[in-house]
Amino acid sequence: MKTTPRIDTPQGLRDVTKRSVVVGAIAWVVLMFAATSDSRETELVHRIVFFAVLVLVPLGLSLVTTAPPTKGFVLLRVAVMLQPLAALFTIASFHVEKGPLSASLSAAWLILCGIVALFGLTRLLSRGIYPLYETSIDAGLLYLPVAGTWLVVYRLGVQPFDYGEMIILLTVVHFHFAGFAAPIIAGMVGRKLGDASRRLFALIVVALIGAMPLVAAGITFSPWLGLLGTLLLALGLMLLAGLTIFNILPIVSSAGARALLLIAASSSCAAMVLACLYSYSLVANVVILRIPTMAVTHGLLNAFGFATCSLLAWSRITQKDAALNPPPQHQVVVQPR
């Protein structure tokens, strides 16, 4: 008797996403040697975007696949299968001149983001807002098209609302890591805790979900709104860090996962202190941190320290939990001839 995972099961889909993460990480390392900009700061942010489309998104989707199949599960299957191709087209768009062709190539990522968001919407509508940790995951899925939209705008080479190119590019990064990854990470914390710390976790979810539109409004309308959104996001992430350190670490058996979660919590707190300083500088009209400095410090801490380490840790935790409590799998019986 031979057991083979299938793409129409959570375990089979998880196996596919894990392979995508590994292949994507290898491709990302290779792409480090290919220049896409004359500016060092822009080149750095481009590489963070490449990491998001090649590694971060499939890593986040691998955690969503651990749930039992729900209504719209076929959408997740389609997204997982299309992600490598969409990432390939997106990276190709950075190697041609900005304009209609580049935007058309990057639109493949926007389409993928739309499929992911549609899956999140079907989850939310079929279940309702409770439990809140699943709604937090849905929010991450629903925010992803914002990143895809601004990616197309960036590759088109236009600057709506008089945004500078770097602001548009950093918005792409922000909605991949803070918009997509952070709510999924919070959802994984909630799944592990269950009903423990219910009120505190509810505050975290409200803060993370509510901060995103405020930060965007701050860029468009008023730096005061941006400061409010940043403070709300900082509150949510710092509370999440505290919940992770004091409630999650004691119940996680994997030493590697505990180390990753500790790095993630520390990085998140440091990154949000920098974000608050930058937002305050916009309100006070004083120079504290410049955008290139924020990209190197806040951007790297948030992208690799918080988001990536958290997702890797939760991948290890869920894999170990699945090994202890294996779900039923489809089996293929090889009949003797």
Asked if residue 281 is part of any domain, the answer here is yes
Asked if residue 331 is part of any domain, the answer here is no
Q: What is the pLDDT of residues 55-74, one digit of tens each?
A: 999 999 999 875 556 667 88
Q: Would you call the peptide bond into 131 cis, given omega within 30 degrees of 0 as the criterion? A: yes
Q: What is the pLDDT of residues 123-137, one digit of tens each?
A: 999 888 888 999 999
Instruction: Give CA–CA dist 130/138, Å, rounded.
Output: 11
- Please report which helix (H) or strand (E) contains residue 206, including its range: helix 198-220
Instruction: Give CA–CA dist 336/334, Å, rounded.
Output: 7
Neighbours of 322 (CB within 10 A): 14
Written as one letter, the residue type at 294 is M
Tokens 């410049």 — which residue? 290
Name the DSSP letter for residue 332: B
Of 198, 259, 211, residue with least CA distance to 238: 211
Residue 2's SS3 state is strand
Q: How deeply is 212 buried, as exposed, middle or buried, from its count of CB atoms within 10 A (0-12, 13-18, 19+)?
A: buried
Q: How deeply is 150 buried, as exposed, middle or buried, from its count of CB atoms within 10 A (0-12, 13-18, 19+)?
A: buried
Domain that holds residue 181: 10-324
Mean pLDDT of 35-52: 91
Instruction: Please tell me the predicted confidence (pLDDT) of residue 335.
Output: 41
Percent of the chain with pLDDT over 90: 57
Asked if residue 299 is part of any domain, the answer here is yes
Asked if residue 332 is part of any domain, the answer here is no
Q: What is the pLDDT of residues 192-209, one digit of tens each?
A: 988 767 889 999 999 999
pLDDT band per the 50, 70, 90 thresholds, residue 322: low
Instruction: Please tell me the predicted confidence (pLDDT) of residue 214.
Output: 87
Average pLDDT, the chain: 87
Asked if residue 1 is part of any domain, the answer here is no
User: Could you tell me the CA-to-CA distances from 105 to 68, 87, 94, 158, 218 in Å, in that order?
Assistant: 34, 10, 9, 16, 29
Instruction: Give CA–CA dist 241/247, Å, rounded.
Output: 10
Which CATH number goes with the domain that contains 125? 1.20.210.10
Number of domains in the chain: 1
pLDDT band per the 50, 70, 90 thresholds, residue 224: confident
Residue 1 in this model has a pLDDT that exceeds 50: no
Asked if residue 336 is part of any domain, the answer here is no
Instruction: Please tell me the predicted confidence (pLDDT) of residue 305.
Output: 94
Instruction: Please tell me the predicted confidence (pLDDT) of residue 3.
Output: 47
Instruction: Please tell me the predicted confidence (pLDDT) of residue 20.
Output: 92
Residues 170, 214: contact at Cβ < 8 Å?
A: no
Asked if residue 180 is part of any domain, the answer here is yes
Asked if residue 4 is part of any domain, the answer here is no
More confident residue, 101 or 38: 101
**Displacement of CA 183 from its chain's centroid (Å):** 8
